[in-house]
Amino acid sequence: MAHSTAPRSAHGAHQWLALIVGVVFLLVGAAGFIVTGFSGFMEHDESRTLLGFAVNPLHNVVHLVIGILGVSLWVTSATARTFGWLLLLGYGAAFVYGLYAVENPEINYLNINDADNWLHLGSAVLGLLIAVWPARKRVLEQPGTSETMPHDVR
C-alpha cells in the first residue's frame, strides 16, 4: 500500500477566524448602508447608529473593505496572518484616533462613538490573535512506512 507524502489539507483555526471576521465585517458594512444610505458621506451624526455603534457611509465602506480583505486572505495560513496584522495595525490606529475624534466632532470623519472605540480595540485584539495563533501541526506520512512525522504549518 502506497503512502502519500502530501500533507493532509485543512485550514487552521486562525484562518477560519479570519474568514468569520471578514464575513461579519461585510455584513456590518452592508447593514450600515441600510441605516445611513449614501448621503452625508463623512458626516458626524450621533443619531445614525447600527446596534449602538455610530456609522456613516465612509465608515460602512471601511467595513466592506476589511470584510473583502478577510474573505480574500483567509485561504492560506500566511495571508490569514497578514490579515491579522492589518487588523491589529488598522484597528489599533482607529482606536487611538477614536479617542480624540469622539471628543472633537470636527475631525470625526468616521462618525465614531465610545461603543465603536471599544469595538475597534476588540478588533485589534482579534487581529493579534489571528496573526500569532499557534501553527497547526500537520502530519506527513513517510514513504514506505506507516510512520508519521509532525510538521509545523506556517
- What pLDDT shows up at residue 28? 96
Angle at 12 between CA 64 and CA 14, to 5 degrees: 45
Grid cell, residue 13, equals: 483555526
Grid cell, residue 46, equals: 450621533
Res 47 pLDDT > 60: yes
For the chain, what are the domain ranges?
13-42+49-152
From CA 80, how far away is CA 84, in angstroms rounded?
6
3-state secondary structure of 125: helix
Q: Which residues pair with 148 in a beta bridge?
A: 141
**Do 109 and 60 form a contact (C-beta atoms < 8 A)?**
no
pLDDT, tens digit, for every residue of 105-150?
Answer: 999 999 999 999 999 999 999 999 999 998 766 655 556 655 554 5
pLDDT, tens digit, for every residue of 9-28?
Answer: 578 999 999 999 999 999 99
Provide the pairing of β-strand 137-141 with 53-54: unpaired
From CA 136, how far away is CA 3, in angstroms rounded?
22
Q: Which residues pair with 152 in a beta bridge?
A: 137
How much is the mean pLDDT over the chain? 87
